[in-house]
Chain A
Amino acid sequence: DTGVSQDPRHKITKRGQNVTFRCDPISEHNRLYWYRQTLGQGPEFLTYFQNEAQLEKSRLLSDRFSAERPKGSFSTLEIQRTEQGDSAMYLCASSANLYGYTFGSGTRLTVV
């Protein structure tokens, strides 16, 4: 197991386009998280899955954002009609317990 994988590493898109990111967690981890990080800030929680169920979603997450985790394995995060304010590093993390997250390397989104 090589840890948490995220794809792509970088994404440049035009404003108004849709983008989708993928996260492959550590296989035995049943919990999966998405965070967003902008310059000078800490990771900001977006959403949480336990197996395939999405159990919590940040109120900051607009309707343009949607996440799925079919079959409780990999997860996708889609942003529709991207805006410049969506430019950020999108981090995925997985966990098996309360002992902490294992983070991926992130996907850096730039909206131009």
Chain B
Amino acid sequence: DVQLVESGGGLVQPGGSLKLSCAASGSTFNNLWMHWVRQAPGKGLMWVSRINGGGSSTTYADSVKGRFTISRDNAKNTLYLQMNSLTADDTAVYYCATVGFDYWGRGTLVTVSS
């Protein structure tokens, strides 16, 4: 089994930045592709980004491309999401998930508001 714990969410002003973390345990993290998925309050799920096990291949949803950066530190078993130029539309619970979407964290809430 894999355990995932997100952190780093909070209140940020429009145009601001935030960096989310996802700490993994229980498996060989550096072999796992990982995803970020978000869910705006009362809305459905939206896939945000993915990264391969070595960190050399990344993909983004169009709505975050150029603003968000996914990365990982395999020595620390941690996945990251650097979010810049945030807008109200980025307000959501952000989840990390493993390659097959079979393990998810509990999520961390990001609120973009002045």
A and B bind: no
A-side interface residues toward B, CB under 8 Å?
none
